[in-house]
């Protein structure tokens, strides 16, 4: 929104997002200016306590030993990793219990369980849980990527479980014993592998006033696990104005007249900022100075140099770290000009040199004459 709060400004309309692997290689395109879809939830009249009156169908994991035992006893398992303070987890609890009850009613051989990541941090840390709720499907005690990301309704969860079973060689005929049910053959589930990093590229349209932009992990359907959010980042390129990563031929020609040591248009390029500890991230403070090149063509755009200082900032345990870039425009400007001397300046300087030389030689001659003049006896 603008400063008055009346108009919403889409400053990220030219920003693209990519998933990258651990080596920084692009793997899949995540969209341009695309917002995540909000998942559908179900509202239930019964409370979770009322649903538990006939027994708990979604089994709570009690400790590390119980976790391993549960996966060993259930060839197929669907696990809900949650945090009690997470609002999305609280909305999901009644649906998850009804879903587990539905699987028991249909006698599906799937173990449904919940893991409290506040009580059992060791389990969630070993499983790499980064957001709540995280719904994972396990086969033979091994997590099958990617995690479940569709609607959080009983029908959607049940349909997902049936499709996963139909694609499993061991359990694909689980419903053959029930002649009244029509066997539906599902096509293979399409999924893209999860990649640990992301790449953001594009341009931001901002006003010429002090401000900031920041990069953070965010979700419309999850609460992030702050402890598992790592903001290690590399700045491939950052510039202000028309400089860009590949400046125009006209700008390149003008910059040849400026020593490279005095060009500070992209001082952050190719720098790496690691976050080695939890709850930390780098903040970058940038001072932008407008630069006017009065060289050659009169149509050169205003360029912007900047100086930067980066420091690592610690966050509270409940806050998600972010890579923040704060910029401020200097009231001073740099003007680069190339001036030449006129022809009459050259003649004046030449005359001065000749006159000075003649005068100096005359003085030297007078001194030598006085020294070596023969004296009368």
Per-residue pLDDT at 165 exceeds 70: yes
User: CA dist 96 to 168, 224, 347, Å?
Assistant: 23, 20, 94
Strand partners, 328: 287
Higher-scoring residue by pLDDT: 197, 306: 306
CA distances from 100 to 51, 79, 106 (A): 11, 11, 10
When pLDDT is averaged across residues 220-247 and rounded to a whole number, the result is 84
Task: Give yes or no for residue 180 having a pLDDT over 60.
Answer: no
Q: Given pLDDT bands bounded at 50, 70 and 90, which one contains residue 143?
A: very high
Mean pLDDT of the chain: 84
Place of tokens 């022809």: 343
pLDDT, average across residues 210-223: 85
Most confident of 16-25, 125-134, 223-232, 296-305: 125-134
Q: Report, in angstroms and rounded to the nearest whole number, the Rg of the chain calculated over CA atoms.
A: 35
Whether the CB-CB separation of 226 and 118 falls below 8 Å is answered with no
Q: Tell me the mean pLDDT in the region 72-95.
A: 93
**What's the pLDDT at 188?**
46
The pLDDT > 70 percentage for the chain reads 88
What is the per-residue pLDDT for 194? 64
How far apart are the C-alpha atoms of 26 and 18, rounded to whole Å?
A: 6
Which pLDDT belongs to residue 178?
A: 46
For tokens 């300046």, name the residue.
345
- Which one-letter DSSP state was computed for residue 257? T
pLDDT at position 187 is 47
Closest by Cα among 27, 374, 42 to 193: 27
Q: From CA 167, how far away is CA 163, in angstroms rounded?
A: 6
Residue 210 pLDDT exceeds 70: yes
Which of 29-43, 178-192, 216-230, 249-263 has the weakest average pLDDT?
A: 178-192
Q: Which of 283, 191, 290 is nearest to 240 (CA)?
A: 290
The pLDDT-based confidence of 7 (bands split at 50, 70, 90) is low
Residue 147 is given by DSSP the state P
| pLDDT of amino acid 169 | 67
Average pLDDT of span 57-76: 93
Cβ-count burial of 112 within 10 angstroms (0-12 exposed, 13-18 middle, 19+ buried)? buried
pLDDT score, position 287: 95
> Above 60 in pLDDT, residue 161?
yes
Residues 333-360, mean pLDDT to the nearest whole number: 84
Q: What is the pLDDT of residue 244?
A: 74
d(CA 16, CA 31): 6
Whole-angstrom Cα distance, residue 146 to residue 173?
Answer: 24
* Nearest Cα to Cα of residue 76 among 107, 115, 111, 108: 111
% of the chain beyond a pLDDT of 90: 36
Beta-strand pair 76-82/111-116 = parallel
Average pLDDT over residues 133-145: 93
Coil, helix or strand at residue 63? coil
pTM above 0.85, yes or no: no
Predicted confidence band of residue 185 (pLDDT cuts 50, 70, 90): very low
At 95-131, the pLDDT tens digits run 999 999 999 998 899 999 999 999 999 999 899 898 9
Give residue-wise pLDDT tens across range 325-336.
Answer: 999 999 999 888
Cite the DSSP H helix spans in the chain. 48-51, 64-73, 87-105, 121-127, 154-166, 249-255, 343-372
pLDDT, mean of residues 73-94 = 93
Question: What is the distance between the alpha carbons of residues 180 and 165, in angstroms, rounded to a whole number?
Answer: 19
pLDDT at site 73: 93
Angle at the Cα of 15 from the Cα atoms of 10 and 21, rounded to 5 degrees:
145
Residues 6+ apart with CB under 8 A from 219: 36, 131
Say what the pLDDT of residue 195 is: 63
pLDDT average, residue stretch 335-361: 84
């Amino acid at each position: 929104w603008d400063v008055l709060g009346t108009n919403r400004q889409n400053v990220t309309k030219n920003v693209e997002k990519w998933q990258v692997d651990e080596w920084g290689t692009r793997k899949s395109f995540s969209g341009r200016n695309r917002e995540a879809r909000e998942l559908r939830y179900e509202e239930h009249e019964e409370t979770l306590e009322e649903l538990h009156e006939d027994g708990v169908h979604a089994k709570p994991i009690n400790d590390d030993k119980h976790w391993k035992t549960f996966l060993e006893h259930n060839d197929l398992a669907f696990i809900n990793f949650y945090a009690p303070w997470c609002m999305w987890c609280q909305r999901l609890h009644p649906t998850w219990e009804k879903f587990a009850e539905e699987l028991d009613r249909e006698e599906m051989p799937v173990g449904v369980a919940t893991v409290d990541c506040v009580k059992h941090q060791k389990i969630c840390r070993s499983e790499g849980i980064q957001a709540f709720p995280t719904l994972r499907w396990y086969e033979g005690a091994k997590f099958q990527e990617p995690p479940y990301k569709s609607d959080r309704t009983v029908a959607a969860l049940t349909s997902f479980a049936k499709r996963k079973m139909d694609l499993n060689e061991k359990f694909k005929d689980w419903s053959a014993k029930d002649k009244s049910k029509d066997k539906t053959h599902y096509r293979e589930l399409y999924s893209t592998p999860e990649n640990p990093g992301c790449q953001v590229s594009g341009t931001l349209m901002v006003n010429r006033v002090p401000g900031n932009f920041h990069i953070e992990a965010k979700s419309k359907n999850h609460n992030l696990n702050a402890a598992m959010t790592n903001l290690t980042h590399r700045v491939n390129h950052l510039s202000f104005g028309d400089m860009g990563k590949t400046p125009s031929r006209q700008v390149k020609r003008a910059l040849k007249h400026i020593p490279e040591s005095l060009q500070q248009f992209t001082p952050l390029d190719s720098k790496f900022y690691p976050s080695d500890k939890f709850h930390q991230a780098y903040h970058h403070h940038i001072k932008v100075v407008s630069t006017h090149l009065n060289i050659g063509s009169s149509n050169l755009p205003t360029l912007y140099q900047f100086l930067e200082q980066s420091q690592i900032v610690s966050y509270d345990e409940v806050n998600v770290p972010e890579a923040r870039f704060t910029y401020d425009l200097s009231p001073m400007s740099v003007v680069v000009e190339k001036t030449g001397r006129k022809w009459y300046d050259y003649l004046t300087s030449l005359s001065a040199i000749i006159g000075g030389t003649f005068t100096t030689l005359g003085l030297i001659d007078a001194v030598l004459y006085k020294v070596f003049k023969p004296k009368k006896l």
